[in-house]
Amino acid sequence: MNKQFETQSPEETFSLGEKIGRHLTAGDIVCLFGDLGSGKTTLTQGIARGLGVPKEAYVRSPTFTLVNQYEGKLPVFHIDLYRIASLQDLENLGLEETLGSGGVAIVEWAEKLFDAKQPEIPLLGMARWLEIHIQIEQKDTRKFELTARHMGPAGHPVFTLQ
């Protein structure tokens, strides 16, 4: 599955996020890919709003805290992996537990969750996730490509049996 959207302003990106957020369910992991200033945080704020996080609970970019938690109709985890430098850092964060906790996780700089050499293989135990790739088209224009992904049978641990 693959779907594309285009927005012309931060407000439109927020609205797109709201619509996406309304359709997320427990256990969903949203992986955001896009350059600095592409709109990852703006989209995340909309997603959180769509998941019922109150307006007052402002969703900041958690670059310094790495993980912020908000309460909507489900727990919402806003994760920013910009500062993650190694698999060890990633493991120290205890994300596997967060991702498996039945809330919704939205991850900025999600490339850090995947093997650099095999970007289709997640480093943590993720069975399925939603990818959103964001392109800066023009000053105020952003293109969003949504793709649903899953590990696939070859990625399942049972196939490592000898």
Ligand X SMILES: Nc1ncnc2c1ncn2[C@@H]1O[C@H](COP(=O)(O)OP(=O)(O)O)[C@@H](O)[C@H]1O
Give the nearest distance from C-beta 125 to Mg ion in angstroms: 25
Binding residue count for Mg ion, defined by CB under 5 A:
4
Q: Report the alpha-carbon distance of residue 15 to residue 7 in Å, rounded.
A: 9
Residue 51: CA count within 13 A, CB half-sphere: 32
Chain contacts with ligand X (rule: CB under 6 A): 7-10, 12-13, 34, 36-42, 61, 108, 140, 142
Give the nearest distance from C-beta 41 to Mg ion in angstroms: 3
- Joined together, the tokens standing for residue 89 give 């850092």
Q: Smaller CB distance to Mg ion: residue 120 or 140?
A: 140
Q: Report the alpha-carbon distance of residue 129 to residue 126 in Å, rounded.
A: 7
| Residues 88/11, Cβ–Cβ less than 8 Å | no
Q: Does position 40 bind Mg ion by CB under 5 A?
A: yes
Residues that bind Mg ion (CB under 5 A): 40-41, 61, 108
